[in-house]
Structures are given as C-alpha cells and as structure tokens.
Amino acid sequence: MTYTTFEARPLSGALGAEIHGADLKAHGNTRMWDELQQALLEFKVIAVRGQNLLPAEQRDAAAHFGKPSHYPFAQGLPDIPEMTLVVKEAQDRRNFGNGWHSDTPYLAEPPAITTLYAVETPPRGGDTLFTNTQMAYEELSTGLRRMIDGVSGVFSASLKYRPGGNRQEHHAKITSMPVTNTDSADRYVSRHPIVRTHPQTGAKALYCSLTHTLHLDEMTERESQPLIKMLYEHASTPEFTCRVRWEPGQMTFWDNRCTMHNAVNDYHGARREMRRLTVRPEKPV
C-alpha cells in the first residue's frame, strides 16, 4: 500500500514499520489518520518517529484508535487514570513487559491497540520485540490448525507459568513503577479462543501464551501446558518477528489481536521511561 501523508519503512519481512513525517497533533488531517489506521492493519506495529507529546496529547492521538482501556496493575496518571508510566531506573534489574505476551488477555475485553510513548531511552538497548501471531498461526500444519481452531483457553493475570516468577514475585522486584493491586491478580481470569479472528481483516491469529494462558478448555493445566509452550515457542520464531528501536518522542502503536511483544531487558545501569495507554476494549472472537 502507498501512503501519501507519511513514509512507512518496513522493519522486517514479517511485520512492523517506522513511520516518518506524520504529525500526531494534526487532528484535522483525516487522511493521515485514515492512513495510520491502514498502516497499523498492514504492518501490525507502527513506530511513529519524531513526535513531542504531553500525556494529554498522547491520549488524544490514541483516541483516534478507540476509547481507553484500564490497566489493573499500575497506578495511572492523576488526570489520565488509564495512562501508566513504564519506568526502569539505572539501579533496577527487572523491567516491565519482559516475556512474550499480548496485553491484558485476562480481561473480558482486552484492548485491541496499545500505544507506548518514549520519554527517555537508554543510550543503547531497551528495544521491544514483536511477533506476528497471524503468520505464526498460518505456518502451523493443517492438522494442528484443525485441532486448535475453536478451542478456548483460560487466561489469568497470575503469571503462574511465566518464566521468571509469578506476578507478586515479579512486581515486587519492579521497584520504580507504581505497581498496584498485585495481590488480586488471581481474580483476573477470562476465557477466550486461542485462535482469534481479526474483526477488520478476517485473518486468524494465535492467541495463547505461557505468560497468561493457564489451560485449555476442558483440559487440566498439566495436560494443556506442553501444547501452550509449544505454541508459545513457535510464535517467537525469528522469521515472524521484528525489533522496534526507540528514541525519545517516538510513539509506537501495536495491534494486540495479531501480535505479541517482549520488552528486552538489556540496559542495566541506564534509565528508560515510557507512557503506556491501551485503547479499544474488544471481546476476542
């Protein structure tokens, strides 16, 4: 697709594009917003470079993609409660968002889109990896696709099977973020299909991860986990992925319905600060 209001530079063969020349404060430029929506559908992840946004300006830009969704485990900004800071200080060892996942699938209506704005970035490292879960689904054998089509999974915020510890242990070590409500994580549970259909493109994508999927319908955790682990490892095949590098003033949008992401924790000794706002709560189908 050709875009007339900005330049889209693909990040890999699988997904992702850097967007140059867009202005996220130009709310009257309907053509640009239509093209950004189109670019997000085409690339699944768009990293819009060269912005300078206050929190309210990020909120207004994100509003073109849907209404805000609430994140249960971090305190929001006082005047924009749905917007949370994602911070790792120089002395911290843990980061937020490490490990492949789609955002908050334990909600009944997880956000379709996440926006992340870079306030401060480390001199090197601190990238975010993304994977195309539509491609991951399409590259499975017909037999396995037939087996998992129509199967639902139980998604939990407990992070019980997350490599590296459950939510309470993990969040206790994320010392510089205003994490909250961690002891109620086990109560956030939802049931969704593990192969979901994108409401705009009609394409199917894997929706299942070790991070959040406890078990499959009518199966025990012990029975389900080997398959979940296999699908999780398959979904992170390098050929399905791209890497987003950050610079201050960059706002990245991603589509949680057909991607997973993983915040790389390779910048100990440096500070990283982002603002995160998810939008468009939507029941996976």
By the criterion CB under 6 A, which residues form the site for ligand SIN?
86, 96-97, 103, 114, 116, 128, 261, 263, 274, 276
242 pairs with which residues across the strands?
Answer: 130
Minimum distance between the CB of residue 143 and ligand SIN, rounded to whole angstroms?
33
Question: Which residue, 49 or 276, has its beta carbon nearer to ligand SIN?
Answer: 276
> Nearer to ligand SIN by C-beta: 50 or 125?
125
Residue with Cβ nearer ligand SIN (100 or 240)? 100
Question: In Å, how far from its chain's centre is CA 38?
Answer: 18
Q: What is the DSSP letter of 98?
A: -
In terms of CB distance, is 71 or 161 closer to ligand SIN?
71
The Cα 281–Cα 240 span in angstroms is: 25
Name the minimum Å distance from CB 203 to ligand SIN.
23
**Cα 33–Cα 34–Cα 39 angle in degrees, nearest 5:** 95
Which residue of the chain is nearest ligand SIN when measured via CB?
Answer: 97
CA quadruple 163, 168, 172, 176: dihedral, nearest 10? 90
Write down the least CB distance from residue 249 to ligand SIN, Å. Answer: 15
Q: How far is the CB of 86 from ligand SIN (least distance, A)?
A: 5
User: What is the nearest approach in angstroms of ligand SIN to the Cβ of residue 6?
Assistant: 22
Residues 6+ apart with CB under 8 A from 152: 191, 192, 193, 194, 216, 217
User: Is there a contact between 152 and 216 (Cβ–Cβ < 8 Å)?
Assistant: yes
Of 5 and 259, which CB lies nearer to ligand SIN in the complex structure?
259
Is 196 or 276 the residue whose CB approaches ligand SIN more closely?
Answer: 276
Q: Closest distance between ligand SIN and the C-beta of residue 229, in Å?
A: 20
Tell me whether residue 240 or residue 267 sits nearer to ligand SIN (CB atom): 267
Q: State the minimum distance, in angstroms, from the CB of residue 31 to ligand SIN.
A: 29
